[in-house]
């Protein structure tokens, strides 16, 4: 008899890596995930988390921001937008050179997201396979210890990271080797380099929870070769179809999902997907 009752579908999450101004690649992936191909509407069972760096590199930064803005208006419970270092460039905190800049209305939209809380630093994703903290570049052990006061769950870490928006914005934008040339085990969640800062920072601490990040990769996706110290590469497995890399650490996993779109979109990539065992939290 129970077969005759409508069965609610299991809530699921899709974590989308860096988009880099590639609106076609984003639209294609959203339809694959079940979005309506004509209206773009995200299905009721699906929550999207996007890890930031929606702009730059590709030709469509303005269109990507407009599309994300439409989701944040129409389906705010279905789209969680994280900040990347490229969005940070327009928020008065991070200094690096980028050309061309996005247009002024797009800058205004990014600033509005940051000021009204539509764009945050972190989300926590509970799954049957464990709880994952999602940030742009990853939470280093040094940042976890020195700035956050060692939260033990992904949900606590997400809350602590997002509370920095009101209290300690400079900490959010703390840089690392990619800006300074000096490796730091306490690089910030928008800037940590996966092979040289994020993963090595956890070698001497047990990870309290697993993580998903974009921003940088251990893998050179154009060749499939792993880069970085052997202690990092020997712990890392990769999937060249999804462009996901998984580094197995003591206490958890660090999963990188930046597809590395450039002036052209990546030929193959997909979001990281899982069934949810509770709501995504921030
Ligand atoms: Mn980035």
- How does pLDDT run across 143-176, given as a tens digit for each residue? 999 999 999 999 999 999 999 999 889 999 999 9
Average pLDDT over residues 64-86: 98
The CA distances from residue 175 to 55, 197, 201, 245, in Å, are: 19, 11, 15, 23
What is the whole-number distance in angstroms between the Cα of residue 5 and the centre of ligand 1? 46
Residue corresponding to tokens 């742009």: 136
What is the whole-number distance in angstroms between the Cα of residue 18 and the centre of ligand 1? 7
Flag whether 282 is in a domain: no
Flag whether 88 is in a domain: yes
Residue 207 and residue 157 in contact, taking contact as beta carbons nearer than 8 Å: no
- Residue 6's pLDDT is what? 66
Specify burial of residue 85 (Cβ count, 10 A radius: 0-12, 13-18, 19+).
buried
What is the whole-number distance in angstroms between the Cα of residue 233 and the centre of ligand 1? 21
Q: How far apart are CA 35 and CA 102, in angstroms?
A: 27
Q: Is the dihedral of CA 134, 278, 71, 168 positive or negative?
A: negative
- Residue 95's pLDDT is what? 74
What is the whole-number distance in angstroms between the Cα of residue 73 and the centre of ligand 1? 25
Flag whether 43 is in a domain: yes
Identify the CATH number of the domain in which residue 60 sits.
3.60.21
Quote the radius of gyration of the chain (alpha carbons, Å): 18
Greater confidence (95 vs 13) lies with: 13
Flag whether 144 is in a domain: yes
What is the whole-number distance in angstroms between the Cα of residue 258 and the centre of ligand 1? 9
Other beta carbons within 10 angstroms of residue 263's beta carbon come to: 10
What is the whole-number distance in angstroms between the Cα of residue 85 and the centre of ligand 1? 5
Flag whether 3 is in a domain: no
What is the whole-number distance in angstroms between the Cα of residue 275 and the centre of ligand 1? 26
The dihedral over CA atoms of 169, 172, 173, 178, expressed in degrees to the nearest 10, equals 170
What is the whole-number distance in angstroms between the Cα of residue 51 and the centre of ligand 1? 9
Identify the CA nearest to 216 among candidates 254, 256, 265.
256
What is the whole-number distance in angstroms between the Cα of residue 156 and the centre of ligand 1? 23
What is the whole-number distance in angstroms between the Cα of residue 74 and the centre of ligand 1? 26
Identify the CA nearest to 173 among candidates 238, 108, 243, 96.
96
Per-residue pLDDT band for 7 (boundaries 50, 70, 90) equals low
What is the whole-number distance in angstroms between the Cα of residue 189 and the centre of ligand 1? 10
Which helix (H) or strand (E) segment holds residue 158: the answer is helix 154-167
What is the whole-number distance in angstroms between the Cα of residue 86 and the centre of ligand 1? 6
Residue 242 and residue 270 in contact, taking contact as beta carbons nearer than 8 Å: yes
Residue 33 and residue 47 in contact, taking contact as beta carbons nearer than 8 Å: no
Flag whether 94 is in a domain: yes
Flag whether 1 is in a domain: no
Flag whether 280 is in a domain: no
Based on the structure, what is the number of domains in the chain? 1
Residue 154 and residue 131 in contact, taking contact as beta carbons nearer than 8 Å: yes
- How does pLDDT run across 99-149, given as a tens digit for each residue? 999 999 999 999 999 999 999 999 999 999 999 999 999 999 999 999 999
pTM metric for this prediction: 0.96
List all residues 6 or more positions away from 266 whose beta carbon is below 8 Å from its beta carbon: 25, 221, 243, 259, 260
Average pLDDT over residues 235-252: 98
- Residue 49's pLDDT is what? 99
Per-residue pLDDT band for 94 (boundaries 50, 70, 90) equals low
Residue 119 belongs to domain spanning: 8-275
Other beta carbons within 10 angstroms of residue 105's beta carbon come to: 10
């Amino acid at each position: 008899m129970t077969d005759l009752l409508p069965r609610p579908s299991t809530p699921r999450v899709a974590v989308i890596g860096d988009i880099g101004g590639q609106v076609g690649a984003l639209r294609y992936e959203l339809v694959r995930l079940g979005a309506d191909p004509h209206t773009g509407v995200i299905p009721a069972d699906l929550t999207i988390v996007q890890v930031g760096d929606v702009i730059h590199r590709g030709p469509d930064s303005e269109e990507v921001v407009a599309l994300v803005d439409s989701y944040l208006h129409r389906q705010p419970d279905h789209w969680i937008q994280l900040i990347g270092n490229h969005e940070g460039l327009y928020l008065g905190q991070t200094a690096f050179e980028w050309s061309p800049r996005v247009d002024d209305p797009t800058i205004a939209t990014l600033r509005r997201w940051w000021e009204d809380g539509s764009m945050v630093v972190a989300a926590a994703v509970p799954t049957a396979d464990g709880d994952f903290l999602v940030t742009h570049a990853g939470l280093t052990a040094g940042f976890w210890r020195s700035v956050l006061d060692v939260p033990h769950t992904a949900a606590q870490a997400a809350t602590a990271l997002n509370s920095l928006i009101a209290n300690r914005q400079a900490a959010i934008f703390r840089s690392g080797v990619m800006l300074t040339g000096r490796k730091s085990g306490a690089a910030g969640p928008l800037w940590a380099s996966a092979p040289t800062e994020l993963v090595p920072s956890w070698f001497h601490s047990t990870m309290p929870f697993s993580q998903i990040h974009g921003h940088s990769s251990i893998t050179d996706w154009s060749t499939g070769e792993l880069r970085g110290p052997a202690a990092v590469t020997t712990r890392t497995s990769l999937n060249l179809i999804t462009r996901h890399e998984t580094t197995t650490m003591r206490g958890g996993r660090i999963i990188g999902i930046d597809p590395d779109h450039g002036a052209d979109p990546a030929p193959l990539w997909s979001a990281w997907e899982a069934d949810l065992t509770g709501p995504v939290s921030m």
